[in-house]
A = this chain, B = another copy of it.
Amino acid sequence: MPHMLIIGGSDAGISAALRIKELDARAEVTVVVADAFPNFSICGLPFYLSGEAPNWRNLAHRSAEEIESHGIRLLLSHRAKSIDARAKIVEIASGGGLNRVAYDRLLIATGAESARPPILGLDAPGVFFLRWMGDSFAVKQFLDQTKPRRAVVIGGGYIGLEMADALTHRQIEVTLMEFAPEVLTTLDPELGARIREELLSKGVHVINGQAVQSIESKQGLLTVQTATGNNQETDMVIVAAGAKPATALARTAGIGLGAGGAIRVDRTMATGIADIWAAGDCVETWHRMLAANVYMPLGTTAHKQGRVAGENMLGGRREFQGSLGTQVVKVFDQVAARTGLRDKEALAAGFDPLTVALTVWDHKVYYPGAKETYIRITGDRPSGRLLGAQMVGHRATEVSKRIDIFAAALYHQMQVDALADLDLSYTPPLSSPWDPVQMAAMQWVLAVNKKSERN
């Protein structure tokens, strides 16, 4: 049997390994895992640190034993150093030693690294990044040992918001600093504003529009300094400034880079170098609406790409069907989600978008507990095609799975108008005869017709 070597034991790597064994139980599969924590849910780190998921072992999608029970060989605490694509050999370090491991087919699933923004003092004690289990153990130890009273979170994206929530959960006074004028810049500011209100209502200080320049450390006291002198004294800092693809290893094999400096791949996840595939946070991602590659590291995408790669390493011809950029985050009691393109993204992609906003009850208001949700729907004026949707609401309002209805519609390039034809479920405690998703679509159609009458 050919030897399938997989470098990286997170979402993409393990998905590929499992898919290979699912399709061919006899396949020989080895996964090189840089740390001792294969298949851990990176998305779960904030909930471990909040104390809501107190046992870190539970963050594993599967335990090492479960993975090995499929006949997959795990090389834990092994780090691939270089790839010789001609000889089909990977140099792997472990302990003090260096081994040369031959492969027949190789998957690079090295993931991403925390981006280091241009801030002085990032290496000071008490300043943390958050990506791998090791990072979270460091944070946890710091929390337990120094019992910080205050924290600054730099970055108002998903991880920053979740960490603001998590540390507040631990009764730490949190200041969230985001350079942009609003938090959650991956959504329109109207949604970010609602998340900011939620943060404020839960006691988080939010500072927008100010660039952090340096972090000063004096006798265990940190001072986060901005260009305008809005300095924050604090006991710890979490830097959540995004991710960049881990491509150093791929480059040793002569593999080209693409969007966002990520590993270039085609839709079969092939790199163009014979018998080498790549998947997950280290690669560029085919965007189904843009019909182009972007860099958008997401766990859901990594799982899908890993699965496609695994199938193709066995000779399959599966194509990754593309990302719609579907994302969701829970911040305290609010949930914000998106799928597809926002107005400005659609405009940049050559569409002629119209975006309509509405506030609508999640279910019939006569039934107790109805809550208002806010939806923005974007469609292409000339074609009437749905381009994207964003939604924010209380966690009980099924925002996440409502965005998924839009995502399923986008997958099929639906017209906005046709959303009203979907046979969606209704009972007064959970929806309305026209689901909010459909109300948004109907509002959009009315708006686009009104605009075209006026022209």
What is the distance, in angstroms, from A49's C-beta to the closest C-beta of chain B?
A: 12
Q: Contacts A22-B446, A44-B364, A405-B408 known; A303 to B433 CB distance under 8 Å?
A: yes
- In angstroms, Cα B304 to Cα A446, docked, is 16
A368–B380 CA distance with the chains assembled, in angstroms: 40
Which of A300, A323, A431 gathers most chain B CB within 10 Å?
A: A300
| A156–B446 CA distance with the chains assembled, in angstroms | 41
A46 nearest CB neighbor, chain B only? B428
Evaluate contact between B425 and A421: CB separation under 8 angstroms: no
Interface pair B411/A422, CB less than 8 Å apart:
yes
Does A144 make an interface contact (CB < 8 A)? no
A399-439 CB mask vs B (1 if < 8 Å, else 0) is 01111110111011000001011111111111101110100
Cα–Cα distance between A418 and B208 once the two chains are bound (Å): 42
Pair A427/B367 contact, Cβ less than 8 Å: no
B400 touches A431 (CB 8 A): yes
Given known contacts A58-B365, A398-B401, A401-B398, is B423 in contact with A326 (CB within 8 Å)? yes
Q: What distance in Å separates the Cβ of A199 from its nearest Cβ neighbour in chain B?
A: 17
Assess whether A47 is interfacial by the CB under 8 Å rule. yes
Let me know if B307 and A420 touch, CB within 8 A.
Answer: yes
Which residues in chain A, 248-281, are within 8 Å of chain B measured between CB atoms?
A: none
Cβ of A140 < 8 Å from any Cβ of B? no
Cβ contacts under 8 Å, A356 to chain B = none
Q: Number of residues in A with C-beta < 8 Å to the partner?
A: 72
What residue in chain B is nearest A446 (Cβ atoms)? B22
Binds B, one of A73-81, A97-105, A180-188, A327-335: A327-335
How far apart are the CA atoms of A266 and B420 in the complex, in Å?
A: 19
Q: Closest Cβ of chain B: how far from A430's Cβ, in Å? A: 5
With a cutoff of 8 Å between Cβ atoms, the chain B residues found around residue A367 in the complex are 44, 47, 52-53
Residues of B within 8 A of A337 (CB): 425
Closest to A340 in B: B423
Candidates B61, B288, B425; contact of A407 at CB < 8 Å: B425
User: Assuming A366-B58, A405-B401, A408-B422, is B429 touching A395 (CB within 8 A)?
Assistant: yes
* Bound CA–CA A300/B302 (angstroms): 37
Chain B proximity of A48: nearest CB distance (Å) = 8
In the complex, per-residue mask of A19-42: 1 if CB is within 8 Å of any chain B CB, else 0: 000100000000000000000010
Give chain B residues whose Cβ lies under 8 Å from the Cβ of A325.
423
In the complex, A431 Cα to B328 Cα: how many Å? 10
A299 cross-chain contacts in B, Cβ below 8 A: 426, 433
User: CB distance A423 to B407 under 8 Å?
Assistant: yes
Is B366 touching A47 in the complex (CB atoms < 8 A)? yes
Q: Which residues from chain B contact A94 at a C-beta distance below 8 Å?
A: none
Given A47-B428, A323-B423, A411-B421: A368 in contact with B52 (beta carbons within 8 A): yes
Within A279-305, which residues are at the interface with B (CB < 8 Å)? 288, 298-304
- Nearest B residue to A325 via CB reads B423
Tell me if A231 is interfacial: C-beta within 8 Å of chain B. Answer: no
A402, B398: Cα distance in complex, Å: 9
**Does A312 sit at the interface, judged by CB under 8 A?**
no
Q: Please determine whether B420 and A304 come into contact, CB atoms closer than 8 angstroms.
A: yes
User: A193: CB under 8 A from chain B?
Assistant: no
Residue A43, interface by CB 8 Å? yes
Chain B residue contacts of A411, Cβ below 8 A: 412, 421-423
Cβ of A58: which chain B residues have Cβ within 8 Å of it? 365-366
Q: For chain A, residues 303 to 326, give those with C-beta under 8 angstroms from any C-beta of chain B.
A: 303-304, 307, 321-326
Shortest CB-to-CB span from A157 to chain B, Å, is 13
Is the C-beta of A339 less than 8 angstroms from some C-beta in chain B? Answer: yes
Given A367-B53, A433-B61, CB of A288 within 8 Å of CB of B328:
no
- Find out whether the CB atom of A59 lies under 8 angstroms from the CB atom of B446: no
State whether B300 touches A433 (Cβ < 8 A).
yes
- In the complex, whether A11 has a CB less than 8 A from a CB of chain B is yes
Known: A53-B366, A303-B433, A398-B400. 13 other contacts (CB 8 A): A55-B366, A288-B423, A299-B426, A302-B433, A324-B423, A326-B423, A330-B427, A396-B396, A401-B404, A403-B425, A404-B405, A407-B424, A411-B422
